[in-house]
């Protein structure tokens, strides 16, 4: 069976006065049905541009230069405008970080009903409205019948995010792309929204591509994670394996930098030295090499590709991956002896 979504060799570049910014430069991803893949990275890593590229929501000076985006085997990058419109908000739903994705002067019920009718024009207005209320109920909007008559600014941040999710679910999508869906929310609301997404996904067998900068969200909500750095995926693994034994030094650094609960309060935190390279002038080899303590000669001039180094389920793009835990312990013991 074909994966629900398979991305191969995606490249999205931006033409700027200073040169070509290679925001996404060779990304491969797979999202299976009923699975949550987290695409995680820091700002400028290319995760949001990747998400936008999947539905060809890239405007000049950006352009998709190469790659395939296969939804159930069909390349979305080759569809004509009409077919693409049917996919957007149809087979693929989207939730964005920006709560202003809702129209401020229409009630949320009207907006959701409109989305229902857009993809199923035979549905009556009345039936579409009932469907909207039903969707609001499904995303656990308190008092959905009343809230459907509210315009967005009457709602709290958490309720607006629920309305956006209801909007994305209007056409029973097979794949939901959620770009930082909880970033603007408080932690207590965030936990509720993540639980809701997981529940909806399990009920509907939907695939979920969750774009986030927050490793806490990854740990809480995803089955697998792909870590992006400077426009490429540097590691891809089941979430448990990623946290237990990261292979790429960047992944390890990122985990070390956020795991505040695992260091003595007030002591120096492990940090990744240096800064992210300019997308206009990426090194020929691994983009992380200049900041990497494990870099070998090859890293400077050859681009590593995603490869399995131990378990087949975990792949990283690194010439000097961190060894598995057992090997590291054995090495440490040998050194100590």
Stated length of the chain? 337
Give the binding range for other proteins (CB under 8 A) out of 48-56, 80-88, 197-205, 238-246.
Answer: 238-246
Residue by residue, DSSP assigns 78-121 as G--HHHHHHHBTTTEEEE-S-GGGS-TTS-HHHHHHHHHHHH-T
Q: Which residues of 291-304 are buried (b: 16+ CB within 10 A; e: fewer)?
A: bbeebeeebeeebb
Does residue 57 belong to the site contacting other proteins (CB under 8 A)?
A: no
Kindly state the smallest distance separating residue 103's Cβ from other proteins, in Å.
24
With respect to other proteins, which residue has the nearer C-beta, 261 or 297? Answer: 261
Coil, helix or strand for 217? Answer: helix
Does residue 281 belong to the site contacting other proteins (CB under 8 A)?
A: no
Question: CB burial class (10 A; 0-12, 13-18, 19+) of residue 325?
Answer: exposed
Contact mark string toward other proteins, 4..23, x via CB under 8 A: --------------------
Helix ranges (DSSP H) in the chain: 47-54, 81-87, 108-119, 125-138, 144-147, 157-168, 187-204, 215-221, 239-244, 249-258, 297-301, 325-336
Binding other proteins by CB under 8 A: which of 118, 243, 309, 319?
243
Spatial CA neighbour of 322 closest among 257, 235, 258: 235
Binding other proteins by CB under 8 A: which of 244, 284, 296, 330?
244
> What CA–CA distance (Å, rounded) separates 157 from 184?
8
Does residue 216 belong to the site contacting other proteins (CB under 8 A)?
A: yes
- Looking only at residues 157 through 186 of this chain, which bind other proteins when binding is defined by CB under 8 A? 186
Binding other proteins by CB under 8 A: which of 263, 280, 281, 327?
263
Does residue 246 belong to the site contacting other proteins (CB under 8 A)?
A: yes
Binding other proteins by CB under 8 A: which of 42, 72, 106, 114?
42
Does residue 333 belong to the site contacting other proteins (CB under 8 A)?
A: no
Does residue 300 belong to the site contacting other proteins (CB under 8 A)?
A: no
Give the binding range for other proteins (CB under 8 A) out of 71-79, 106-114, 139-147, 239-247.
Answer: 239-247
> What CA–CA distance (Å, rounded) separates 11 from 13?
6
Does residue 245 belong to the site contacting other proteins (CB under 8 A)?
A: yes
Enclosing H/E stretch for 69: strand 62-71
Does residue 309 belong to the site contacting other proteins (CB under 8 A)?
A: no
Kindly state the smallest distance separating residue 230's Cβ from other proteins, in Å.
13
Contact 48, 211 (CB under 8 A): yes
Q: What are phi and psi of 265, to 5 degrees?
A: -55, 140
Does residue 213 belong to the site contacting other proteins (CB under 8 A)?
A: yes
With respect to other proteins, which residue has the nearer C-beta, 100 or 302? Answer: 100
Binding residues (CB under 8 A) for other proteins: these are: 42-43, 186-188, 190-191, 213-217, 219-220, 239-240, 243-246, 252-263, 265-273, 275-276, 293, 322, 325, 328, 332
């Amino acid at each position: 069976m074909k994966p629900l979504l398979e991305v191969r060799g995606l490249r999205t570049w931006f033409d700027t006065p200073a040169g070509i910014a290679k925001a996404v430069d060779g990304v491969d991803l797979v999202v299976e049905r009923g699975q949550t893949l987290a695409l995680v990275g820091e700002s400028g890593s290319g995760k949001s541009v990747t998400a936008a590229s999947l539905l060809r929501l890239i405007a000049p000076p950006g352009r998709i230069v190469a790659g395939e985006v296969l939804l159930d085997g069909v390349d979305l990058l080759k569809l004509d405008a009409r077919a693409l419109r049917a996919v957007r908000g149809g087979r693929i739903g989207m939730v964005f970080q920006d709560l202003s994705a809702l129209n401020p002067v229409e009630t949320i019920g009207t907006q959701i009903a409109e989305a229902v009718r857009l993809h199923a024009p035979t549905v009556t207005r009345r039936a579409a409205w009932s469907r909207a209320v039903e969707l609001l109920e499904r995303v656990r909007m308190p008092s959905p019948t009343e809230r459907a008559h509210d315009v967005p600014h009457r709602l709290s941040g958490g309720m607006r995010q629920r309305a956006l999710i209801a909007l994305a679910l209007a056409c029973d999508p097979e794949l939901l792309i959620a770009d930082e869906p909880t970033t603007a929310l408080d932690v207590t609301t965030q936990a509720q929204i993540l639980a809701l997404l997981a529940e909806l996904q399990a009920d509907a067998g939907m695939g979920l591509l969750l774009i986030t900068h927050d490793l806490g969200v990854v740990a809480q909500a995803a089955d697998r994670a792909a870590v992006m750095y400077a426009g490429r995926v540097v590691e891809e693994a089941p979430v448990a394996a990623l946290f237990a034994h990261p292979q790429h030094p960047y992944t390890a650094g990122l985990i070390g930098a956020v795991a505040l609960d695992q260091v003595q309060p007030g002591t120096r935190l492990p940090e990744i030295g240096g800064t992210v390279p300019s997308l206009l002038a990426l090194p020929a080899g691994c983009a992380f090499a200049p900041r990497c303590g494990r870099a070998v000669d090859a890293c400077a001039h050859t681009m590593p590709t995603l490869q399995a180094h131990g378990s087949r389920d975990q792949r990283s793009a690194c010439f000097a991956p961190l060894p598995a835990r057992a090997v590291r312990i054995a090495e440490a013991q040998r050194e100590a002896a």
